[in-house]
Homo-oligomer: A and B are copies of this chain.
Amino acid sequence: MTNINHSPHTEQHLRSSDVISDVVIGMSDGLTVPFALAAGLSGAVASSSLIVTAGIAEIVAGSIAMGLGGYLAGRTEADHYDSERRREMTEVETVPEREKEEVREVFADMGLSFTLQMAIADELAKDKTKWVDFMMQYELGLDKPDPNRATKSALTIGLSYVVGGLLPLSPYFILARPHDALLYSCGLTLICLFIFGYFKSKVTGQPPISGALKVMLIGALAAAAAFGVARLIQ
């Protein structure tokens, strides 16, 4: 759910592409939640096999919920864009003066003088496609979505969640006693969270070391809280 929807800054900035954003969304939850769940159960049950079952059920549930959630968000965005575009097209045809007024409002908000607002509105009105494109982007703030975005997004988020979730679970596959597995799982996951946080921060233009520590801290806090609560109610 992490929002790294940064806009491009052409001067110095690395642009975070949609794929990277989806990997980050899937992996930050995938590394954290199954890790914390397994840690929590380690405080409450005697057998690793049960933790593996719960962990895998969580990974399946989480990857499908997040993947399909990403798919629907992508489809919704595309449908929304299409329906708004059709509406703008109709409005430009039927109520051009009101739409020109809306163009002027965009530039009035920028603080431009009335003379310039009028000149711009008249120039844009000469080409209806360009006019509608302008309204979509600057009045409504909608970018044209990639038609395959929804499917790609679903697969990327889901797979990243699976990969992220299997890492903290792997020691429980091998070691029968949950407390032994928990130690390895903590070590492995904190290292992975650090590496993941480092690259995530690099890509989103944040200071990498402090970003890596923050990501690691979230995972550690979630796991510690889950461990404490599960032990209390066991």
Contacts and interface: CB of A to CB of B under 8 A. Distances in A.
B68 A204 contact: no
A203 interface: no
A5 interface: yes
A36 B64 contact: yes
A97 to B, nearest CB: 15
Given A1-B29, A124-B112, A218 B64 contact: yes
A234 to B, nearest CB: 6
Nearest to A161: B1
Contacts of A229: 56-57, 60
Interface of A: 1-9, 25, 28-29, 32-33, 35-37, 39-41, 44-45, 50, 52-54, 56-58, 60-62, 64-66, 68-70, 72-73, 76-77, 79-80, 84, 110-113, 116, 119-120, 123-124, 127, 130, 133-134, 138, 140-142, 157, 204-206, 214-215, 217-219, 221-223, 225-227, 229-230, 233-234
Of all A-B residue pairs in the complex, the 5 with the closest CB atoms, nearest first, are A40-B57, A36-B61, A7-B141, A1-B1, A32-B65
Given A28-B69, A35-B61, 12 more contacts: A1-B29, A1-B66, A1-B157, A9-B84, A29-B65, A29-B69, A33-B61, A37-B37, A40-B60, A54-B54, A76-B204, A112-B120
